[in-house]
Structures are given as C-alpha cells and as structure tokens.
Amino acid sequence: MSLDMDYPAEQTIQEAYIALGSNIGDRAGLLQQAIEMIHAHEGIQVLKVSHMYETDPVGYVDQPAFLNMVISVSTCLSPILLLRSLLKLELQLGRIRKQRWGPRTIDLDLLLYDNVIMDQEELMLPHPRMMDRPFVLVPLHDVIADSHLLQEQVASLSQAALQSGKEGITLWKTINWHSESGHFAS
C-alpha cells in the first residue's frame, strides 16, 4: 500500500499565512501568478489576499524595491509539506538563490501555521524574523484572523511601522480576490 507523501495521514484543515515578495521582472504579475498557483494546488485554498505594498529592500539594499503581500490559506498539508510545496512553486516561477536577501523573482515564506510552534532545521514557526519585518507585518495585518493569538501584536507593530514613516512601505495596489473562483477581480 502506498501513501501519498503530499498529504498527512489525517487530513485536518488548518489556516496558514504565507508572505510573498518580488523585485525582478513583472513583480505584480509574478505575485498574482504565485497566488493562483498556490490556490490551484490540490491541498491548498487561498482564503484572503492582502493589499500589495512596495517596500524598500532590507539587508542587501543595492537592489530594486520589492512588492510584498501576505495571503491566508486553508490547507490539509502538514507545515513541512506546505513549505516544500511553496519551494517547488518558487522554482517554477524562476527563483534562483544566488545571494542571501538578494534580488528575486519570487519569495514565498511560511509565516504561521495555525498556532503551531516548531523549531526544526527545515522550518521554524512562527517565522523567526517576521515580527522584526514591517514589510511582512503590514500585509499580514490585512489578512490575519481576529482570533489568531498573534493578531493584537501584529496590529500594534504594523500600526507603529506605518506611523513612523521610516520603514519604506507604501500601499501599491488594492487586491480583490474572489476565493470562490480563485481569480482576481478587475
């Protein structure tokens, strides 16, 4: 008897949050394509999509500005299998890892998976640097469930980042996602 390795034995549905970023090529188009590919995955359904924000690069700053957003999804995949699916999608969208924090066509980071706390070599949850990254917190605030344990902290840090005006985050585009159809509205 063979087991499908993409799905856990117990198919419970969990909510997860994924950060998306791009600063090479058609940034907006790549983000939208990534969201559609995630939604098309058999074990993942996109629930909410944040606004798109243009952000200054962090770490290695001699590169173009990023477009960043966050999506909430429901999934029957385990956290590790969800991460591996995201990494495969990055490759399909032309991601080449040359330089840490360097330019990229697409970056997909698993931020939160329900209220799971995990510290493994392959994956740490919550994402270890997300609370220090306004370019993640601001779009995460757009989509995080009111009932999530980190919602108040995300809201507070997001608000502080926007009020400071020092974080290089600008609303770039409002996104309308229709989860029933899995497509963007015009």
Distance set, CA 146 to CA 149, 152, 169 (Å): 8, 8, 23
How far is it, in rounded angstroms, from Cα 117 to Cα 161?
A: 25
Q: Which of 107, 129, 133, 142 is catalytic?
A: 107
* Known catalytic membership, residue 107: yes
Cα separation, 143 vs 138, whole angstroms:
10
Catalytic residue check, 6: no
How many CB atoms lie under 10 A from the CB of residue 1? 2
Residue with tokens 């080449």: 96
**CB distance 111 to 19 below 8 Å:** yes
Q: Is 100 a catalytic residue?
A: no
Instruction: Considering the candidates 95, 97, 132, 133, report the single residue annotated as catalytic.
Output: 95
SS3 27: helix
Assess whether 27 carries a catalytic annotation: no
Which among 26, 27, 104, 114 is annotated as catalytic? 104
Choice among 56, 97, 109, 132 that is catalytic: 109
Nearest to 107 by CA among 67, 64, 50, 143: 67
Q: List, by residue number, the catalytic residues.
A: 95, 104, 107, 109
